[in-house]
């Protein structure tokens, strides 16, 4: 590891929560930055490693309160130059871009942050740039939604204009389901939604770390099954797998080219990105992009599969404008979510010993809530209950292993 001597002051938003946030300020400090934290927690509640990484910390009621954060930033600017102001949580990206712009700090612009947040505007901009997208619109009107449905046809997807993942997302197959989804989304009471054509096909994501508008690192990960289905059915043990064939499989060239073009059109400079895409009978289609890292521990899979500290590489991009290492692509790495058989409290597990004996060398890490713990809803996500992360040099073999895990391991509740 290189040793750095640099005079750079970086403000990092919300360094304590959620748990993987803690890796970002630590990485910034390790590559030589002086890190100032702004967060909602009391400083004494931050983990020791985070406190050691921070040279200063300011508490605020809400990091999305632009006025409060801006006042803190202006106060800090009177004491020292602030070189970067960074956020990595979806809900923080746009308000922090506003503060960044008003305070004259380099980084993701308000325009870029807004385009990466507002799905209809995002897709309008990308269509103009030649990116294939599902037909879509944004609306706060029942009538406009019905007209869109009549023009495009069912099925359709209804989602928040600024949502992340599958939260608040509906698939609708007829007029009755459309009206119900619109009502539950607040349309007619001031709410606005994105409504778009449903694209049949395989769903996956393309993640990058960009520097000065160019892709410094990229990763491709596949969902099994697609997210909307995975978040609706308890019996499914959903997976996502990061491939180590990024450079070697010809099929990925089109995806990588599209991702780079999307980054260019949206004006993303130095940032992490997370782009969802579909591939089916209508070819490759862009879904959406966030100007941030992916959730559900995807970067940890990239680290395990590539002999690479991706958090440190992000910090290198922010502080030094260039990566410090290359991904080995030695392993594919994946996660399988293991759902309880019912809601209630965890009563036990079956099949763990068999999996450890058969595939112990492939296990990266795992989480099994203690017996007696309350279960979490299926909709709470991939890491809400039990999960195992694994890796293997062969992508297809890893998928077979994860399928076996899903069949063998049972999470019991009562």
> And the tokens for 193?
């939604």
- Predicted TM-score (pTM) of the model is 0.90
Looking at the structure, tell me whether residues 23 and 167 fall in a common domain.
Answer: no
Looking at the structure, tell me whether residues 371 and 384 fall in a common domain.
Answer: yes
What pLDDT is stored for residue 138 in this prediction?
85
pLDDT at residue 91 is higher than 80: yes
What pLDDT is stored for residue 233 in this prediction?
85
Give how far the C-alpha of residue 95 lies from the chain's centroid of Cα atoms, to the nearest Å: 18
Mean pLDDT of 352-364: 97
Q: Which of 14-18, 83-87, 103-107, 161-165 has the lowest mean pLDDT?
A: 161-165
Q: The domain spanning residue 23 has which CATH number?
A: 3.40.50.20
Q: The domain spanning residue 174 has which CATH number?
A: 3.30.1490.20
Q: The domain spanning residue 353 has which CATH number?
A: 3.30.470.20
What pLDDT is stored for residue 368 in this prediction?
97
Looking at the structure, tell me whether residues 338 and 230 fall in a common domain.
Answer: yes
Higher pLDDT, 110 or 194: 110
Q: Tell me: the pLDDT tens digits for 322-347?
A: 999 999 999 999 999 999 999 999 99
Looking at the structure, tell me whether residues 161 and 308 fall in a common domain.
Answer: no
pLDDT at residue 141 is higher than 90: no
Looking at the structure, tell me whether residues 181 and 211 fall in a common domain.
Answer: no
Q: Per residue, what are the HEC states of the chain?
A: CCCCCCCCEEEEECCCCCHHHHHHHHHHHHCCCEEEEEECCCHHHCCHHHHHHEEEEEECCCCCCHHHHHHHHHHHHCCCCCCEEECCCHHHHHHHHHHHHHCCCCCCCHHHHHHCCCHHHHHHHHHHCCCCECCEEEECCHHHHHHHHHHHCCCEEEEECCCCCCCCCEEECCHHHHHHHHHHCCCCCCCCEEEEECCCCEEEEEEEEEECCEEEEEEEEEEECCHHHHCCCCCCCCEEEECCCCCCCCCHHHHHHHHHHHHHHHCCCCEEEEEEEEEECCEEEEEEEECCCCCCCHHHHHHHHHCCCHHHHHHHHHHHCCCCCCCCCCCEEEEEEECECCCCEEEEEECHHHHHHHHHHHEEEEECCCCCCECCCHHHCCCCCEEEEEEECCHHHHHHHHHHHHHHCEEEEC
What pLDDT is stored for residue 2 in this prediction?
45
Looking at the structure, tell me whether residues 208 and 187 fall in a common domain.
Answer: no
What pLDDT is stored for residue 166 in this prediction?
60
With respect to residue 269, please indicate whether it lies within any of the assigned structural domains.
Answer: yes
Q: Tell me: the pLDDT tens digits for 197-218?
A: 888 899 999 999 999 999 999 9
What pLDDT is stored for residue 163 in this prediction?
62
Q: How far apart are CA 292 and CA 304, in angstroms?
A: 20
Looking at the structure, tell me whether residues 256 and 163 fall in a common domain.
Answer: no
Residue 134's pLDDT band (cuts 50, 70, 90): confident
What pLDDT is stored for residue 1 in this prediction?
41
Q: How far apart are CA 257 and CA 250, in angstroms?
A: 12
What pLDDT is stored for residue 162 in this prediction?
67
Q: Tell me: the pLDDT tens digits for 263-288?
A: 999 999 999 999 999 999 889 999 99
Higher pLDDT, 288 or 194: 288
Residue 228's pLDDT band (cuts 50, 70, 90): confident
Domain, as residue range, for 178: 135-197
> And the tokens for 163?
């949502």
What pLDDT is stored for residue 120 in this prediction?
87
Q: Tell me: the pLDDT tens digits for 42-76?
A: 999 999 999 999 999 999 999 999 999 999 999 99
Q: Tell me: the pLDDT tens digits for 373-405?
A: 999 999 899 999 999 999 999 999 999 999 999
Mean pLDDT of 147-155: 89
Total domains in the chain come to 3
Mean pLDDT of 225-244: 92
With respect to residue 122, please indicate whether it lies within any of the assigned structural domains.
Answer: no
Report the percentage of the chain scoring pLDDT > 90. Answer: 76
Looking at the structure, tell me whether residues 73 and 164 fall in a common domain.
Answer: no
pLDDT at residue 165 is higher than 60: no
Q: Which of 8-12, 115-119, 133-137, 397-401 has the lowest mean pLDDT?
A: 133-137
State which of 178, 197, 216 marks the end of a domain.
Answer: 197
pLDDT at residue 6 is higher than 80: no
Higher pLDDT, 6 or 116: 116
Higher pLDDT, 301 or 138: 301
Matching residue, tokens 């969802």: 276
Looking at the structure, tell me whether residues 393 and 355 fall in a common domain.
Answer: yes
With respect to residue 129, please indicate whether it lies within any of the assigned structural domains.
Answer: no
What pLDDT is stored for residue 3 in this prediction?
44
State which of 175, 197, 219 marks the end of a domain.
Answer: 197
State which of 170, 197, 224 marks the end of a domain.
Answer: 197
With respect to residue 123, please indicate whether it lies within any of the assigned structural domains.
Answer: no
Looking at the structure, tell me whether residues 92 and 65 fall in a common domain.
Answer: yes
Looking at the structure, tell me whether residues 243 and 352 fall in a common domain.
Answer: yes
Q: What is the mean pLDDT of the chain?
A: 93
Looking at the structure, tell me whether residues 189 and 211 fall in a common domain.
Answer: no
């Amino acid at each position: 590891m290189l040793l750095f001597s640099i005079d750079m002051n970086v403000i990092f938003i919300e360094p304590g929560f959620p748990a993987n946030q803690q890796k970002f300020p630590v990485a910034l400090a390790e590559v030589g930055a002086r890190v100032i934290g702004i967060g909602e927690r009391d400083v004494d509640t931050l983990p020791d490693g985070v406190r050691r990484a921070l040279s200063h910390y300011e508490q605020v009621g809400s990091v999305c309160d632009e006025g409060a954060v801006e006042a803190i930033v202006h106060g800090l600017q009177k004491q020292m130059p602030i070189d970067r102001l960074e956020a990595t949580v979806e809900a923080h990206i746009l308000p922090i871009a506003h503060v960044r712009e008003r305070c004259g700090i380099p980084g993701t612009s308000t325009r870029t942050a807004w385009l990466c947040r507002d799905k209809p505007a995002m897709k309008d901009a990308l269509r103009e740039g030649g990116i294939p997208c599902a037909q879509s619109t944004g609306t706060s009107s029942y009538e406009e939604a019905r007209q869109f449905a009549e023009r495009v046809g069912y099925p359709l997807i209804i989602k928040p204009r600024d949502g992340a993942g599958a939260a608040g997302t509906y698939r609708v197959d007829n007029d009755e389901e459309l009206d119900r989804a619109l009502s539950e989304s607040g349309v007619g009471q001031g709410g606005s939604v994105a409504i778009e054509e449903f694209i049949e096909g395989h769903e996956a994501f393309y993640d990058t770390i960009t520097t000065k508008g160019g892709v410094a690192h990229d990763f491709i990960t596949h969902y099994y099954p697609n997210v909307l289905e995975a978040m609706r059915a308890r019996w499914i043990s959903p997976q996502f797998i990061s491939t180590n064939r990024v450079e070697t499989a010809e099929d990925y060239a089109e995806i990588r080219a599209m991702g780079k073009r999307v980054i260019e059109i949206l004006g993303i400079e130095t940032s992490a990105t997370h782009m969802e895409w579909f591939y089916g009978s209508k070819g490759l289609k862009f879904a959406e992009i966030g100007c941030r890292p992916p959730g559900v521990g995807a970067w940890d899979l990239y680290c395990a599969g590539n002999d690479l500290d991706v958090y440190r590489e992000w910090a290198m991009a922010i502080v030094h404008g260039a990566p410090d290492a290359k991904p080995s692509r030695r392993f594919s790495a994946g996660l399988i979510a293991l759902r309880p058989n019912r809601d209630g409290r965890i009563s036990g597990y079956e099949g763990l010993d068999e999996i450890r004996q058969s595939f112990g060398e492939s296990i990266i890490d795992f989480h099994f809530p203690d017996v007696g713990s309350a279960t979490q809803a299926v909709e709470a996500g991939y890491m809400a209950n039990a999960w195992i992360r694994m890796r293997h040099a062969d992508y297809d073999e890893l998928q077979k292993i994860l399928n076996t895990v899903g069949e063998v391991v049972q999470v019991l509740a009562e």
